[in-house]
Amino acid sequence: MLDAARECAALAKTLAPVTERERALPAELVAKLTGAQLLRSGVPGYLGGPEAPPAVSLETAETVARGDASAGWCVSIAVTSSLLSAYAPRKCAEEVFGDPRTVAAGVWAPRGTGERVEGGYVVSGRWAFCSGIPHCDWLFAGFVHEGQLFVAAFPKADITVLDTWHTNGLRGTGSHDCVADAVFVPEHRVFSVMGGPPPEAVSLHRFPLFGYFALSVAAAALGNARGAIDDLVELAATRKPLGSSRSLAERAQTQASVAEAEAALRAARLLFYTSIDDAWQAAQGTEPVSDALKVGLRLAATHVTRTAAKVAESMYDLGGGAAIYETSPLQRRFRDAHTATAHFQVNPASFELPGKLLLGVPARTEQL
């Protein structure tokens, strides 16, 4: 999978201007990602899925994001949606993921409402940030019924995709709004993620779901920052600032700044994968993963995303006047990095719940 991710990253880098312009992943790239099962690595083996450990799936997203952040983001979000194959009733899981070419998007936030009817629910709502919906076949969308939170699986044909994704960064993710207008959803396609995984879940699906979601954002941010350093190193070898006989690479300020960024990114990445490994080892057992380990995942996700943004910003600054043009990948790295930091899973407020627990303040932990 990692070999395939590196091949996809190279293609994503080549196609990045097209991805940005079209505000969606090109069909050629989607086909390559789908063929390697990188968009469904959370699907269990019994359905023909890779059932890949979290570190593997997240590293594939990081790797693809090194080529292009929008592509890596789409890998991350599709993987988190594929994890719902373990929470959904088996009939639903088989219907959605039985075809290895299927890709699902997901917005679990309860932006819809549901009415109980014979055989299922009638659901209406509007969900923003449906990343990857242009190339997806299904949407998992959250809704409320009698004060309880549920997720419904919609075929894309049953919903309306609105052209809303006109943004500063991560343009290629195609994260448009989706609308359901009184859509009937059969009972087997409605479920909840709030009570944790089913008792028979394998280790992958005992890994904290909401922590995985936050980590998926961080994985794309991590790869984007690494790509920003790559782009700066390439530029620095040949660019000479106005009035200077030395290239950017030969200047002491560039050398110090790149070294500092490299150290920060390496440290953040180490925290990221160490926290994942700690929780993954716990998920091998039969007991739920502890809140302490879940806190570690959330701290890592937010810290990594925000550190990665600082690294990308530093590389953009070093690029100087060359970085401001649309033809420069550094300006896209900068915009993508700061779009990622706006995600609610990794914004500054996301530190509050872990902080409460670290301070011994009572807090609800269902979505930790």
pLDDT tens digits for 183-240? 999 999 999 999 888 888 999 999 999 999 999 999 999 999 999 999 999 999 988 8
Percent of the chain with pLDDT over 90: 95
Integer Cα distance of 93 and 144 in angstroms: 21
Instruction: Give me the sign of the Cα torsion angle 148, 153, 154, 160.
Output: positive
Q: Give me the pLDDT at residue 324, please.
A: 95
Q: Which residues are bridge partners to 126 per DSSP?
A: 179
**What count of other Cβ atoms lies within 10 Å of the Cβ of residue 352?**
11
Task: Look up residue 284 and give its amino acid.
Answer: Q
Task: Convert the pLDDT of each residue in 228-254 to its tens digit.
Answer: 999 999 999 988 876 677 889 999 999
Q: Is 326 helix (H, G, I), strand (E, B) or coil?
A: coil
Nearest one of 285, 275, 289, 300 to 351, comparing CA atoms: 300
Q: Give me the pLDDT at residue 57, please.
A: 98
Percent of the chain with pLDDT over 70: 99
Q: Is the pLDDT of residue 105 over 90?
A: yes
DSSP-derived letter for residue 343 is S
Rounded mean pLDDT, 70-86: 97
Sequence-distant (6+) residues with CB within 8 A of 310 are 261, 264
Task: Convert the pLDDT of each residue in 19-59 to its tens digit.
Answer: 999 999 999 999 999 999 999 999 999 999 999 999 999 99
Q: Is the pLDDT of residue 2 over 70?
A: yes
Rounded mean pLDDT, 73-80: 98
CB-based contact 140:102 (threshold 8 Å): no
Q: Is the pLDDT of residue 120 over 80?
A: yes
Nearest one of 141, 144, 161 to 152, comparing CA atoms: 141
Q: Give me the pLDDT at residue 199, please.
A: 83
If you count them, how many residues does the chain have? 368
CB-based contact 223:231 (threshold 8 Å): no
Integer Cα distance of 27 and 241 in angstroms: 39
Structure tokens given for 283: 């998920």
**What count of other Cβ atoms lies within 10 Å of the Cβ of residue 31?**
13
Q: How confident is the model at residue 340 (pLDDT cuts 50, 70, 90)?
A: very high
The average confidence (pLDDT) of the chain is 96
Q: Give me the pLDDT at residue 195, please.
A: 86
Q: Is 124 helix (H, G, I), strand (E, B) or coil?
A: strand
